[in-house]
Amino acid sequence: MFLCQCVNHFINILQYIYLQNKTLIMYLLPQNARRAKNILIAFYVTIAMQLISLLSNFMQLALLRKVEKGDYNASEATTNDARQAVIAFSHVGLYIVSIVLFILWFRRAYNNLYLSNRASTNFETGWAAGAWFVPFLNLGRPYSIMKEIWIKTQQATDNLLTYKPADIVGWWWALWIANNIAANIATRVFKGSTVEDLTNLTYANMVSDIVELAAVILAIMMIKQTAVFEENLQQSLLVEKQPEGDDVLNFIVNS
């Protein structure tokens, strides 16, 4: 009988902590650090790939100059074409993986902002993924959401002494758009097979590589800083919702 009373008393204590303080577990936001790490790794690999691509394009320019002079052999051209093809296919595969990993991180960051109950989001959280695939909408909606994540995650921590403006988000998005424009120009405008056409295509690809490289570097900086904002938000939620010892003690004594 005494044992049953002790068990019931213990259950009542747990219920009190759960109902009155809503427990810490409810306010632990889904972890996004692992997703941030995954996309950062993919972006570091992308940087390496861009540098390799730039080097390969320099080598192709050198070969095209030799072709103009007639000072080349078939094996050089075959080797160059094979190298460029491997780099191109590798870049496409890495690009797809990076897009998927970024959207996974991006969507959770926006969803966590919503779940924190510290700020209202301007859009349904599903748009953090869907907006990337809707024509015309994808020219601005992802930027708006990223800016909202950057600003409101900081505001939700109630620590505006270290507030960082969202300039980096604007520069990142501008470079992302510029990279897509440069890539489209490179693939659609320069389609000829003459030495001059191939030279122009190579230069266009190099410009696209440089712009993408800059965009990726800014994305890395942006993700790292956002991860800090998210960690600060998580900590502020834990502090806010932690049960007060005196309240629990009084409940135990009086129950």
- Each residue's pLDDT tens digit, 149-191: 999 999 888 666 678 999 999 999 999 999 999 888 877 777 7
Residue 93, pLDDT > 90, answer yes
46: exposed, middle or buried (Cβ count in 10 Å: 0-12, 13-18, 19+): buried
Query: Of the given ranges (18-32, 78-92, 105-119), which has the lowest mean pLDDT?
Result: 18-32
What is the per-residue pLDDT for 20? Answer: 47
- Please indicate, yes or no, if residue 104 is contained in any of the structural domains: yes
- Please indicate, yes or no, if residue 18 is contained in any of the structural domains: no
* AA identity, residue 97: V
- Please indicate, yes or no, if residue 13 is contained in any of the structural domains: no
% of the chain with per-residue pLDDT over 90: 57
Q: Helix 195-241 and helix 167-188: axis angle, to 10°?
A: 150
What is the per-residue pLDDT for 161? Answer: 64
- Each residue's pLDDT tens digit, 97-145: 999 999 999 999 999 999 888 888 999 999 999 999 999 999 999 999 9
CA distances from 38 to 45, 223, 245 (A): 11, 11, 39
What is the per-residue pLDDT for 238? Answer: 75
| Number of domains within the chain | 1
Q: Give the pLDDT mean for 216-245.
A: 83
The three-state secondary structure class of 113 is helix
Q: Give the pLDDT mean for 15-29.
A: 50
The pTM of the full predicted model, rounded to 2 decimals, is 0.81
- Please indicate, yes or no, if residue 239 is contained in any of the structural domains: yes
Confidence of residue 18 (pLDDT cuts 50, 70, 90): very low
Question: What distance in Å separates the CA atoms of residue 22 and residue 80, rounded to the nearest whole number?
Answer: 64
**Among candidates 152, 154, 110, which has minimal Cα distance to 129?**
110
- Please indicate, yes or no, if residue 15 is contained in any of the structural domains: no
What is the per-residue pLDDT for 7? Answer: 45
* AA identity, residue 87: I
CB 248 within 8 A of CB 17: yes
Question: What distance in Å separates the CA atoms of residue 67 and residue 222, rounded to the nearest whole number?
Answer: 44
- Please indicate, yes or no, if residue 19 is contained in any of the structural domains: no
Question: What distance in Å separates the CA atoms of residue 148 and residue 154, rounded to the nearest whole number?
Answer: 10
Residue 25, pLDDT > 80, answer no
**Among candidates 56, 55, 54, which has minimal Cα distance to 211?**
54
- Please indicate, yes or no, if residue 9 is contained in any of the structural domains: no
Q: Give the pLDDT mean for 65-71.
A: 86
Across the chain, what does the average pLDDT equal?
84
- Please indicate, yes or no, if residue 20 is contained in any of the structural domains: no
Residue 55 domain boundaries: 32-254
Question: What distance in Å separates the CA atoms of residue 244 and residue 53, rounded to the nearest whole number?
Answer: 58
**Among candidates 224, 232, 229, 228, which has minimal Cα distance to 36?**
224
Residue 250, pLDDT > 70, answer no
